[in-house]
A and B are shown apart, each in its own frame.
Chain A
Protein backbone atom coordinates (compact mmCIF):
# COMPACT_ATOMS: atom_id res chain seq x y z
CA UNK A 1 0.00 0.00 0.00
CA UNK A 2 1.33 3.40 -0.97
CA UNK A 3 -0.15 6.80 -0.25
CA UNK A 4 0.89 10.06 -1.89
CA UNK A 5 -0.33 13.48 -0.85
CA UNK A 6 -0.60 16.43 -3.20
CA UNK A 7 -1.58 19.99 -2.49
CA UNK A 8 -1.05 23.71 -3.16
CA UNK A 9 2.14 24.25 -1.14
CA UNK A 10 1.38 27.92 -0.46
CA UNK A 11 -1.96 29.55 0.07
CA UNK A 12 -3.50 32.77 1.33
CA UNK A 13 -5.37 33.22 4.61
CA UNK A 14 -9.16 32.80 4.52
CA UNK A 15 -8.98 30.43 1.57
CA UNK A 16 -9.95 26.76 1.39
CA UNK A 17 -7.19 24.18 1.59
CA UNK A 18 -7.68 21.20 -0.69
CA UNK A 19 -5.44 18.15 -0.50
CA UNK A 20 -5.60 14.80 -2.26
CA UNK A 21 -4.18 11.44 -1.24
CA UNK A 22 -3.63 9.01 -4.11
CA UNK A 23 -3.79 5.40 -2.96
CA UNK A 24 -2.06 2.53 -4.77
CA UNK A 25 -1.80 -1.15 -3.96
CA UNK A 26 -5.29 -1.42 -2.52
CA UNK A 27 -8.75 -0.24 -3.43
CA UNK A 28 -10.14 2.51 -1.24
CA UNK A 29 -13.36 0.49 -1.20
CA UNK A 30 -11.61 -2.21 0.83
CA UNK A 31 -11.98 -2.46 4.60
CA UNK A 32 -9.94 0.58 5.55
CA UNK A 33 -10.43 3.92 7.24
CA UNK A 34 -8.68 6.69 5.31
CA UNK A 35 -7.21 9.33 7.58
CA UNK A 36 -5.67 12.80 7.61
CA UNK A 37 -3.11 13.88 10.22
CA UNK A 38 -1.15 17.12 10.35
CA UNK A 39 1.98 18.40 12.06
CA UNK A 40 2.71 22.09 12.50
CA UNK A 41 6.42 23.00 12.22
CA UNK A 42 8.26 21.76 15.28
CA UNK A 43 5.03 20.53 16.86
CA UNK A 44 3.25 17.26 17.51
CA UNK A 45 0.83 15.24 15.43
CA UNK A 46 -2.83 16.25 15.23
CA UNK A 47 -5.52 13.85 14.03
CA UNK A 48 -7.86 15.64 11.61
CA UNK A 49 -10.38 12.98 10.67
CA UNK A 50 -11.17 9.76 8.84
CA UNK A 51 -13.57 8.33 6.28
CA UNK A 52 -14.72 4.81 5.44
CA UNK A 53 -15.69 3.68 1.94
CA UNK A 54 -19.35 3.64 2.92
CA UNK A 55 -19.12 7.36 3.58
CA UNK A 56 -19.04 7.13 7.36
CA UNK A 57 -16.70 9.70 8.84
CA UNK A 58 -15.35 11.15 12.08
CA UNK A 59 -13.69 14.52 12.59
CA UNK A 60 -11.57 16.14 15.28
CA UNK A 61 -14.04 18.20 17.34
CA UNK A 62 -11.74 21.23 17.23
CA UNK A 63 -11.77 21.24 13.41
CA UNK A 64 -15.21 19.80 12.70
CA UNK A 65 -16.78 23.09 11.60
CA UNK A 66 -14.12 23.59 8.89
CA UNK A 67 -13.27 20.07 7.70
CA UNK A 68 -14.67 17.81 5.00
CA UNK A 69 -13.09 14.50 3.98
CA UNK A 70 -14.36 12.82 0.84
CA UNK A 71 -13.68 9.84 -1.41
CA UNK A 72 -13.19 9.61 -5.18
CA UNK A 73 -13.62 5.93 -5.91
CA UNK A 74 -13.07 6.37 -9.65
CA UNK A 75 -9.57 7.73 -9.01
CA UNK A 76 -8.84 5.60 -5.94
CA UNK A 77 -8.08 8.67 -3.86
CA UNK A 78 -9.49 10.66 -0.99
CA UNK A 79 -9.41 14.35 -0.21
CA UNK A 80 -9.33 16.90 2.58
CA UNK A 81 -10.99 20.31 2.44
CA UNK A 82 -10.27 22.81 5.21
CA UNK A 83 -12.03 26.15 5.02
CA UNK A 84 -11.12 29.60 6.37
CA UNK A 85 -7.45 28.78 6.82
CA UNK A 86 -5.10 30.90 8.90
CA UNK A 87 -1.39 30.80 9.63
CA UNK A 88 -2.20 28.30 12.38
CA UNK A 89 -3.09 25.78 9.68
CA UNK A 90 0.47 25.81 8.34
CA UNK A 91 1.64 22.23 8.67
CA UNK A 92 2.82 19.06 7.01
CA UNK A 93 -0.32 17.14 6.12
CA UNK A 94 -0.14 13.35 6.09
CA UNK A 95 -2.63 10.84 4.80
CA UNK A 96 -2.68 7.43 6.45
CA UNK A 97 -4.49 4.11 6.44
CA UNK A 98 -6.17 2.39 9.36
CA UNK A 99 -7.46 -1.11 8.72
CA UNK A 100 -11.03 -1.86 9.79
CA UNK A 101 -11.38 -3.01 13.41
CA UNK A 102 -7.85 -1.86 14.20
CA UNK A 103 -7.00 1.35 15.99
CA UNK A 104 -3.60 2.34 14.64
CA UNK A 105 -2.19 3.78 11.42
CA UNK A 106 -0.03 1.26 9.60
CA UNK A 107 0.64 3.08 6.34
CA UNK A 108 1.50 6.75 5.92
CA UNK A 109 2.22 9.04 3.02
CA UNK A 110 5.39 11.11 3.02
CA UNK A 111 3.46 14.26 3.82
CA UNK A 112 3.05 17.57 2.04
CA UNK A 113 3.86 20.97 3.50
CA UNK A 114 1.16 23.60 3.27
CA UNK A 115 2.10 27.14 4.21
CA UNK A 116 -0.60 29.74 4.83
CA UNK A 117 0.79 33.22 4.39
CA UNK A 118 -0.20 36.53 2.93
Chain B
Protein backbone atom coordinates (compact mmCIF):
# COMPACT_ATOMS: atom_id res chain seq x y z
CA UNK B 1 0.00 0.00 0.00
CA UNK B 2 1.27 3.44 -0.85
CA UNK B 3 1.29 6.37 1.54
CA UNK B 4 -1.42 8.95 1.02
CA UNK B 5 -0.14 12.13 -0.63
CA UNK B 6 -0.01 15.37 1.35
CA UNK B 7 1.77 18.66 0.59
CA UNK B 8 5.12 18.81 2.36
CA UNK B 9 4.42 22.20 3.87
CA UNK B 10 1.68 24.78 4.31
CA UNK B 11 2.02 28.17 5.94
CA UNK B 12 -0.24 30.98 7.01
CA UNK B 13 -0.42 34.08 9.16
CA UNK B 14 -2.16 34.17 12.53
CA UNK B 15 -5.91 34.38 12.10
CA UNK B 16 -5.89 33.01 8.57
CA UNK B 17 -7.35 29.69 7.41
CA UNK B 18 -5.30 26.98 5.78
CA UNK B 19 -6.26 23.69 4.16
CA UNK B 20 -4.21 20.51 3.95
CA UNK B 21 -5.09 17.94 1.31
CA UNK B 22 -4.71 14.18 1.52
CA UNK B 23 -5.01 12.21 -1.72
CA UNK B 24 -5.42 8.47 -1.92
CA UNK B 25 -7.26 5.97 -4.09
CA UNK B 26 -10.61 4.26 -4.32
CA UNK B 27 -9.14 1.51 -2.11
CA UNK B 28 -8.66 3.83 0.82
CA UNK B 29 -9.77 7.49 1.03
CA UNK B 30 -12.33 7.19 -1.75
CA UNK B 31 -13.69 3.84 -0.62
CA UNK B 32 -14.99 4.63 2.87
CA UNK B 33 -15.61 7.40 5.38
CA UNK B 34 -12.82 6.40 7.75
CA UNK B 35 -10.33 9.20 7.26
CA UNK B 36 -8.69 10.60 10.39
CA UNK B 37 -6.24 13.43 11.01
CA UNK B 38 -3.45 13.68 13.60
CA UNK B 39 -1.40 16.56 14.96
CA UNK B 40 2.17 15.93 16.05
CA UNK B 41 4.19 18.57 17.82
CA UNK B 42 7.96 18.28 17.67
CA UNK B 43 9.15 15.34 19.71
CA UNK B 44 5.65 14.34 20.74
CA UNK B 45 3.24 11.55 19.96
CA UNK B 46 0.44 12.07 17.42
CA UNK B 47 -2.97 13.16 18.72
CA UNK B 48 -6.22 12.68 16.86
CA UNK B 49 -7.96 15.83 15.64
CA UNK B 50 -10.59 14.46 13.27
CA UNK B 51 -12.08 11.00 12.72
CA UNK B 52 -14.59 9.56 10.27
CA UNK B 53 -13.77 12.40 7.82
CA UNK B 54 -15.32 15.24 9.79
CA UNK B 55 -15.99 14.31 13.43
CA UNK B 56 -14.03 15.87 16.27
CA UNK B 57 -13.22 14.11 19.55
CA UNK B 58 -14.29 15.99 22.65
CA UNK B 59 -11.70 18.53 23.65
CA UNK B 60 -10.50 19.31 20.12
CA UNK B 61 -11.00 22.90 19.04
CA UNK B 62 -13.75 23.59 16.51
CA UNK B 63 -11.14 25.53 14.53
CA UNK B 64 -10.25 22.14 13.07
CA UNK B 65 -12.60 20.70 10.47
CA UNK B 66 -12.48 17.90 7.93
CA UNK B 67 -14.10 17.06 4.63
CA UNK B 68 -13.75 14.69 1.70
CA UNK B 69 -14.45 14.68 -2.02
CA UNK B 70 -13.74 11.59 -4.05
CA UNK B 71 -10.24 10.31 -3.32
CA UNK B 72 -9.12 13.49 -1.56
CA UNK B 73 -9.71 14.43 2.07
CA UNK B 74 -8.97 17.84 3.54
CA UNK B 75 -8.22 19.34 6.92
CA UNK B 76 -8.95 23.03 7.45
CA UNK B 77 -7.53 25.02 10.31
CA UNK B 78 -9.39 28.27 10.88
CA UNK B 79 -8.14 31.20 12.90
CA UNK B 80 -4.57 29.94 12.71
CA UNK B 81 -2.65 30.26 15.99
CA UNK B 82 0.98 29.86 16.93
CA UNK B 83 0.21 26.65 18.82
CA UNK B 84 -1.00 25.10 15.55
CA UNK B 85 2.58 24.95 14.27
CA UNK B 86 3.15 21.20 14.03
CA UNK B 87 3.16 18.25 11.65
CA UNK B 88 -0.19 16.91 10.44
CA UNK B 89 -0.90 13.43 9.14
CA UNK B 90 -3.99 11.97 7.55
CA UNK B 91 -4.86 8.29 7.80
CA UNK B 92 -7.36 6.04 6.09
CA UNK B 93 -8.73 2.58 6.60
CA UNK B 94 -8.31 0.45 3.48
CA UNK B 95 -10.22 -2.22 1.60
CA UNK B 96 -7.64 -4.73 2.84
CA UNK B 97 -8.52 -4.08 6.52
CA UNK B 98 -5.29 -2.21 7.04
CA UNK B 99 -4.49 1.43 7.72
CA UNK B 100 -2.34 3.81 5.70
CA UNK B 101 -0.96 7.21 6.73
CA UNK B 102 -0.26 10.28 4.68
CA UNK B 103 3.20 11.63 3.92
CA UNK B 104 2.73 14.44 6.43
CA UNK B 105 2.48 18.23 6.22
CA UNK B 106 4.49 20.73 8.21
CA UNK B 107 2.40 23.74 9.15
CA UNK B 108 4.26 26.99 9.76
CA UNK B 109 2.66 30.02 11.34
CA UNK B 110 4.28 33.10 9.84
Contact with B along A35-46 (1 / 0, CB 8 A): 101000001111
Number of B residues with CB within 8 Å of any CB on chain A: 26
- Among B1, B34, B99, B101, the one with the most A-chain Cβ atoms within 10 Å of its Cβ is B99
CB distance from B47 to the nearest CB of A (A): 7
Within the assembled complex, what's the spacing in Å between the Cα atoms of A45 and B61?
A: 23
> Known interface pairs A102-B51, A105-B46. Does A60 touch B1 (Cβ–Cβ under 8 Å)?
yes
- The answer on a CB contact under 8 Å between B100 and A47 is yes
Within the assembled complex, what's the spacing in Å between the Cα atoms of A60 and B3?
A: 12
- The answer on a CB contact under 8 Å between A104 and B51 is yes
* Consensus secondary structure, chain A interface: loop
Within the assembled complex, what's the spacing in Å between the Cα atoms of A37 and B104?
A: 14
Known: A44-B3, A103-B36, A108-B47. 12 other contacts (CB 8 A): A44-B102, A44-B103, A45-B101, A45-B104, A47-B101, A58-B97, A103-B32, A104-B51, A105-B36, A105-B38, A110-B44, A111-B45
Residues of B within 8 A of A (CB): 1, 3, 32, 34, 36, 38, 44-48, 51-52, 57, 89, 91, 93, 96-104
A-B CB proximity, top 7 nearest = A103-B34, A104-B36, A104-B51, A44-B104, A45-B101, A108-B45, A47-B99
